[in-house]
A = this chain, B = another copy of it.
Amino acid sequence: MLSIKDALGALEGRWKLLILFALAEKPKRFKQIAKEVQGITDKTLSKELKNMEANQLISRTVYDTFPPTVEYAITPHGLSLEKVLDELHFWGLRHRQQVIGK
């Protein structure tokens, strides 16, 4: 039960999955993520990225350019969510058919 709560906690809210999907393609900068995750404010995106970094789902790398470049990338731990997301996806499809689609 605790483990399931941990997992749901790491995914909670409406933004984390969208951010993970944006980064699953390739590492991106803040502005790129903000553009792809439609409707998110800079303040919320900043908060979500910090939370996901603390949960080691994503990494934040500062490049020594001028001006400095910051890039966010999905981590192996973040990628390991794939099976969970697959199962959620399959069940969600069935759920939509069975309950919402009615």
Contact surface of A with B, Cβ cutoff 8 Å: 1-8, 10-12, 14, 17-18, 21, 54-56, 77, 80-81, 83-96, 98-100
Contact = CB atoms under 8 A, between A and B. Distances in A.
A3 B87 contact: no
A81 B4 CA distance: 12
A96 B9 CA distance: 11
B81 A7 contact: no
B3 A89 contact: yes
A12 B100 CA distance: 16
B3 A92 contact: yes
Given A84-B88, A91-B81, A91-B83, A96 B18 contact: no
A7 B56 contact: no
Most B CB contacts (10 A, CB to CB) among A86, A88, A96 go to A88
A21 B1 CA distance: 9
